[in-house]
């Protein structure tokens, strides 16, 4: 083999160094641009945290989001799916149309966190007085997406195509008798109207260290179906139960029967599933066996075939238990949310963007989550990628971190910048891969 000419070798080394330097400089410039919005993102987050609104009631939240997007020079549409907001960044150059989504609703939870911007909002929910709190981190989702919008708008000249910023209401579920959320946005034509061809979404996690990202190919979050069960018996005096049919006792048997469906009938090595009864109501005093009992519950599945099977088993089990006691049962299982499914090819293509945002060592493959997300409706329409961003302080153990949907739910704001970086890097990479 001929010995390489020294001058030629030096030239190759110089060119490689120049390429690496250019790449590193570009990366540093982008990271600097992203970091510069961090304080604004935290301010936004605190505003939304202090002023939460329930599903389909996010009126002031929507107004504030629209104002921020217009200040960035975006085309803005409001009133989508009641209170949704969409902002469009059009680069004026040919390229893909990317959807970036954040949910915006709070929960009927009374806050206990000792932060100066804690929510003091009170309202009525399903006939009961309650506080309102961003107890699932949707305030951080809004702030992180606004931060990404600011960065991407400022670097518009470097992009090709369009970015559609989707601020979605009612992720936690529309009030009874109303439509809402991602499903209603799609029904109203969001995807077709804006020509969205891919969707990205993220969720803050109070149990994941700040600076880290969790993702998974395929099903990452469960399908959810709400269940209403009405057990009808025959009212009698509490001293002589044989004179009637006790729906409370029958309901207790049903609850245990539902649990044995999961523990003894479902193939849990295939995928996890959960049946939970969260509310039971019946009777007015200690010495009256009531006429009926109402139970509310939730069903979580991570496999479509298992979902169909478990619904059949629920109906059969409850019907048979009722018949054995000469009671009657009515069972309602709603349509719910489908499995949140990450498109395999999209996820593989976007992994370098996740690594660029958080560092490869901080990007972790997760097990599927039995929580549910209506981002799943978007991912049924176009390829989607959904992931988790860390919000847990490093000095707090995962065991001690307050769960989502609780009064003590807490997020370390130093983790928000990772969410901004991720949305920016995902947008940039997708455009690079899909712009000719």
Residue 250: which CATH number?
3.30.70.360
The reply to whether 120 and 184 lie within a common domain is: yes
267 has catalytic annotation: no
Pair of tokens at residue 245: 């049919």
Higher pLDDT, 81 or 27: 81
Q: Is residue 229 part of a domain?
A: yes
Q: Is residue 74 part of a domain?
A: yes
Q: Is residue 28 part of a domain?
A: no
337 has catalytic annotation: yes
The reply to whether 302 and 374 lie within a common domain is: no
The reply to whether 316 and 375 lie within a common domain is: no
The reply to whether 207 and 254 lie within a common domain is: no
| pLDDT confidence tier of residue 1, bands split at 50, 70 and 90 | very low
pLDDT tens figures, 351-379:
999 999 999 999 999 999 999 999 999 99
The reply to whether 191 and 232 lie within a common domain is: no
For the residues 75-101, what does the mean pLDDT come to? 98
Q: Is residue 71 part of a domain?
A: yes
Q: Is residue 41 part of a domain?
A: yes
For residue 26, pLDDT over 70 is answered with no
The reply to whether 254 and 300 lie within a common domain is: yes
Give residue 304's pLDDT: 92
Residue numbers of the domain that contains 46: 36-222+339-434
**Where a domain ends, among 275, 310, 333?**
333
| pLDDT confidence tier of residue 50, bands split at 50, 70 and 90 | very high
Give residue 126's pLDDT: 86
The reply to whether 302 and 312 lie within a common domain is: yes
Can you give the pTM of this predicted structure? 0.88
The reply to whether 244 and 163 lie within a common domain is: no
Residue 84, domain CATH: 3.40.630.10
For the residues 7-20, what does the mean pLDDT come to? 54
Q: Is residue 380 part of a domain?
A: yes
Give residue 2's pLDDT: 47
For residue 280, pLDDT over 80 is answered with yes
Q: Is residue 290 part of a domain?
A: yes
| pLDDT confidence tier of residue 220, bands split at 50, 70 and 90 | very high
Active-site residue, from 53, 386, 413, 430: 413
Q: What is the mean pLDDT of the chain?
A: 94
The reply to whether 142 and 166 lie within a common domain is: yes
The reply to whether 181 and 316 lie within a common domain is: no
Give residue 374's pLDDT: 96
The reply to whether 177 and 105 lie within a common domain is: yes
For the residues 402-428, what does the mean pLDDT come to? 98
Q: Above pLDDT 70, what percent of the chain?
A: 94
For residue 318, pLDDT over 80 is answered with yes
Give residue 28's pLDDT: 77
Q: Please tell me the total count of domains within the chain.
A: 2
Give residue 5's pLDDT: 58
Instruction: Select from 53, 388, 337 the least CA-distant residue to 182.
Output: 337
Q: Is residue 216 part of a domain?
A: yes
pLDDT tens figures, 128-157:
999 999 999 999 999 999 999 999 999 999
**Where a domain ends, among 303, 333, 363?**
333
**Where a domain ends, among 306, 333, 360?**
333
The reply to whether 100 and 215 lie within a common domain is: yes
Active-site residue, from 48, 337, 410, 430: 337
For residue 15, pLDDT over 80 is answered with no
């Amino acid at each position: 083999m001929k010995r390489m000419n020294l001058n030629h070798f030096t030239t190759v080394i110089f060119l490689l160094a120049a390429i690496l330097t250019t790449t590193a400089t570009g990366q540093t410039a982008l990271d600097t641009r992203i970091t510069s919005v961090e304080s604004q993102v935290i301010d936004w987050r605190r505003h939304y945290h202090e002023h939460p609104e329930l599903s389909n009631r996010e009126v002031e939240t929507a107004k504030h989001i629209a104002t921020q997007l217009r200040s960035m020079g975006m085309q803005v549409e409001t009133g989508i799916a009641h209170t949704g907001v969409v902002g469009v960044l059009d680069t004026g150059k040919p390229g893909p149309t990317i959807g970036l989504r954040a949910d915006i609703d709070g929960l009927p939870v009374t806050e206990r966190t000792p932060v100066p911007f804690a929510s003091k909002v009170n309202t009525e929910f399903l006939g009961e007085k309650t506080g309102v709190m961003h107890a699932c981190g949707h305030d951080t989702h809004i702030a992180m997406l606004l931060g990404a919008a600011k960065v991407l708008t400022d670097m518009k000249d470097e992009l090709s195509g369009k970015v559609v910023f989707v601020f979605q209401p009612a992720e936690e579920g529309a009030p009874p008798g109303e439509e809402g959320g991602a499903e209603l946005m799609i029904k109203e034509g969001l995807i077709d109207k804006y020509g969205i061809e891919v969707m990205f979404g993220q969720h803050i996690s109070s149990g994941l260290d700040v600076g880290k990202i969790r993702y998974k190919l395929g099903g990452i979050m469960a399908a959810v179906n709400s269940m209403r069960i009405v057990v009808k018996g025959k009212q009698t005096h509490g001293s002589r139960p044989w004179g009637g049919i006790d729906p409370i006792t029958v309901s207790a048997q049903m609850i245990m029967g539902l649990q044995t469906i999961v523990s003894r009938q479902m193939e849990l090595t295939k995928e996890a599933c959960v049946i939970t009864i969260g509310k039971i109501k019946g009777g007015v005093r200690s010495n009256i066996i009531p006429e009926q009992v109402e139970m509310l519950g939730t069903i979580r599945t991570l496999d479509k075939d298992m979902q169909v099977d478990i619904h059949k088993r629920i109906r059969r089990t409850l019907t048979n238990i009722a018949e054995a006691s000469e009671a009657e049962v009515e069972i309602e299982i709603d349509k719910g949310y489908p499995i949140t499914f990450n498109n395999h090819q999209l996820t593989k293509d976007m992994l370098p963007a996740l690594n660029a945002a958080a560092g490869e060592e901080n990007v972790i493959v997760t097990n599927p989550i039995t929580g549910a997300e209506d981002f799943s409706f978007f991912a049924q329409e176009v390829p989607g990628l959904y992931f988790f961003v860390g919000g847990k302080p490093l000095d707090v153990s995962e065991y001690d971190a307050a769960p989502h949907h609780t009064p003590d739910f807490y997020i370390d704001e130093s983790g928000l910048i990772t969410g901004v970086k991720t949305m920016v890097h995902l947008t940039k990479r997708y455009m690079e891969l899909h712009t000719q």
